[in-house]
Structure 1
Amino acid sequence: MHNFRASDRCLEGKTILVTGAGDGIGRQAALSYAQYGATVILLGKTVQKLEYVYDEIVALNKMQPAIIPLDLRGATKQNYIDMASTIEQQFGKLDGVLHNAGLFVALSPLAHIAEKDWLDIMQVNVNAPFIMTQALLPVLKKAENASIIFTSSGVGRKGRAFWGAYSTSKFAVEGLMQTIADEFENTSIRCNCINPGATRTMMRAKAYPSENVENLKTPEDIMSPYLYLMSDESVNTTGQSIDAQPKN
């Protein structure tokens, strides 16, 4: 899948929701999905960033995207139920969700993590994608083949010092993905995780401010698995945790 050669129309007719679509990997995934024919729903907390991505997609002369401004820290279950209802009314179905939005505060010893930071990270990285997915399931079931992708991390497979809350949240995401994949095995819904690896994003810069970004892959460089898992080529792939940058 890392050498997946997407055909020009491999996502044609699909409607895909991308969270955290305002910048970084979410922005690039939204642009890539649109480039290959999908109608993209852009979800994020900063309207201006979403509008910039909206304009970029429109400039591609592709399907007109939609915008959902929502801060996952304060979103309620009703917000997600209303969102699912709107998506169903406007598009009839949902073919894919990329749970890309995430919160990282700072590297910190466990003893010094503020309770508010811990709770905010769990809310954005775990609770929000769970409640959102639960609300979206009826709309996902209306698609012929639906794909759910969660964003994981290397520290979501092996805990690492000073990554406390973020690491714990990604372990939870891996478990949530596996549970969904197992429950919906042999159905039209598949579920997988992608670990982006070291990528040139603002979150990465926050964790490693002195790192030379020229040594990092860009979001565009790692798009192959994101495209593969949203395309019908991956209909039999579920329950997998995939490295976007596999070690040689």
Structure 2
Amino acid sequence: MRKNIAIILAGGVGSRLGLSTPKQFFKVAGKMVVEHTIDTFESNPHIDEIAIVSNPFFISDFESIIIKNGWKKVKKILKGGKERYDSSLSAIKAYEGSDVNLIFHDAVRPLVSQRILNDVIDALKNYDAIDVAMPATDTIIEVKGDFINNIPDRSKLKRGQTPQAFHIDTIAKAYDIALKDENFKVTDDCGVVVKYLPEVPVFVVNGEESNMKLTYKEDTYLLDKFFQLRKSELNDIPIDEEMLNGKVAVIFGGSYGIGENIAELLKEKKVEVYCFSRSMNKVDVGNKDDVERALKSVFDKSHRIDYVITTAGLLNKEPLMSSDYQTIQNAINTNYLGTVNVAMSSFQYLKESKGKLIFFTSSSYTRGRAFYSIYSSTKAAIVNFVQAIAQEWEPFSIAVNCINPERTKTPMRVKNFGIEPDDSLLSADKVATITVQSLTSEFTGQVIDVKRDNE
């Protein structure tokens, strides 16, 4: 079977972005853009090897980044050239004579999804050239000078993305012919195949709007928002029971609902579990002293803390002007200040154990809604907080993630919404399962979605 080699094209200098460093080194959601990109390829089971094509001046930077991230699949750092096609040719020459597929991807498209990668790799079983594209939404005009010369049929137009994938013999042959053309011009690798090997069909895989390319300064704001809204799922990742065995977990809000289910599941996996809540032992996450005493009591008994999970939260579904100030203050203290208190108090223990910190958001974090002004705004704050400290604490090997369950059957929900059909709600035990799975994953700074099985 042919090996699939990912070629990460990172030779740009980012002049259009207006930054002092190349755009692939721009930081977003806790990591450099190129780190997010390579993470995606590293975690795909169908990618056998990764090669980075770099501007020669930044090869030492990439060597340091590879060591820091511990990527196993990155085998080569290749020198790029002045033009984009020089980078492609560098990779083609590096793998010349091998029976491989080359999958070219822009380093500055960090949000390429596993779905796109899997579809591209699957298409390589039947085709020797693959592109990724999105339908054109705007009318495209062809001009001559300052005047419209032609308006192509929009239904036949698409916007190209990457990755673009080829059997090495196909792309090598196309470039061999192209380089003999004195009028050779190219904007991407598929264009070379289309022009110089017209007999080879180029299959098109559907892209995604979030698979955007960081090019201009304005793109940084959009990329930030896409990362904020990006969600990961763990449904297909098994729980690594061996990794959990003997660990120590602290759960704030573990007396009922999701927290109680997480505690029960962790105990089944032979984790030493300690639960704290206002109703159970008068520990209020909104009070930093309470949180510090709780954690110290666990450390004094067990001499380590590996996981800290906070499910504590308050929801009062009512208009803002109908809420009394104390109710508002309580919700902010629990939902947001409680998150800050737990994070700050947990740091010293998780730094020592290289542990994991889990918070909970809600699907309402993406957009404020009437009757949810305090709840949804505090849940949005939690997401931003998680992404920020995931970046700050990365050097200490502390993973920080956020679980985002859709509507879940819990006592708090019943209190606010009454009785609802069971098939319209998530079960607390499924949320618990995904939460425990996250403890054995490599994720950090992620919003981890939990959905019903039929969605």
TM-score after normalising by structure 1: 0.82
Q: Specify which structure has the bigger relative contact order, considering alpha-carbon pairs within 8 angstroms and separated by 6 or more residues.
A: 1
1:173/1:18 Cα in 2 relative to 1: closer, same or farther (>3 Å)? Answer: same
Q: Distance in 1 between matches of 2:447 and 2:359?
A: 9
Aligned to 1:39: 272
Bigger CA drift: 208-217 or 237-246?
A: 208-217
Query: How do residues 1-248 of structure 1 correspond to structure 2 at under 5 angstroms?
Result: 1-47=234-280, 69-73=282-286, 75=287, 77-105=288-316, 107-143=317-353, 145-231=354-440, 234-235=441-442, 237-245=443-451, 248=455
Computing the radius of gyration over CA atoms, which structure comes out larger, 1 or 2?
2
Q: Distance in 2 between matches of 1:141 and 1:134?
A: 11
Q: Distance in 2 between matches of 1:104 and 1:216?
A: 17
Q: Distance in 2 between matches of 1:81 and 1:201?
A: 27
1:147/1:157 Cα in 2 relative to 1: closer, same or farther (>3 Å)? Answer: same
Q: Distance in 1 between matches of 2:371 and 2:403?
A: 22
Please list the CA deviations of residues 53-92 of structure 1 after superposition, one character each: whole Å capped at 9, or x if unmatched.
xxxxxxxxxxxxxxx541335x3x3333333332222222
Aligned to 1:50: none
Q: Distance in 2 between matches of 1:101 and 1:241?
A: 17
Q: Distance in 2 between matches of 1:215 and 1:241?
A: 22
Give unmatched runs, 5+ long, in structure 1.
48-67
Bigger CA drift: 177-186 or 207-216?
A: 207-216
Secondary structure (helix, strand or coil) at the match of 1:16 reads strand
Q: Distance in 2 between matches of 1:151 and 1:9?
A: 25
Q: Distance in 2 between matches of 1:72 and 1:221?
A: 25
1:153/1:228 Cα in 2 relative to 1: closer, same or farther (>3 Å)? Answer: same
Q: Distance in 2 between matches of 1:136 and 1:220?
A: 25
Please list the CA deviations of residues 15-38 of structure 1 after superposition, one character each: whole Å capped at 9, or x if unmatched.
111111111100000011111121
Kept in 1, the 8 Å contact 2:252–2:285? The answer is no
Q: Distance in 1 between matches of 2:290 and 2:283?
A: 9
The Cα shift of 1:206 comes to 2.1
Provide the alpha-carbon RMSD of the alignment. Answer: 1.9
The Cα shift of 1:98 comes to 0.9
Higher strand share: 2
Aligned to 1:57: none
Secondary structure (helix, strand or coil) at the match of 2:358 reads strand
Q: Distance in 1 between matches of 2:294 and 2:238?
A: 33
Q: Distance in 2 between matches of 1:116 and 1:179?
A: 29
Please list the CA deviations of residues 101-122 of structure 1 after superposition, one character each: whole Å capped at 9, or x if unmatched.
11112x2122222211111000
Equivalent AA in structure 2 for residue 140 of structure 1: L
Q: Distance in 2 between matches of 1:80 and 1:22?
A: 15
Kept in 2, the 8 Å contact 1:9–1:37? The answer is no
Q: Distance in 2 between matches of 1:185 and 1:139?
A: 15
Kept in 1, the 8 Å contact 2:276–2:294? The answer is no
Secondary structure (helix, strand or coil) at the match of 1:142 reads helix
Aligned to 2:56: none
The Cα shift of 1:189 comes to 0.2
Kept in 2, the 8 Å contact 1:10–1:37? The answer is no
The Cα shift of 1:214 comes to 4.6
Give unmatched runs, 5+ long, in structure 2.
1-233
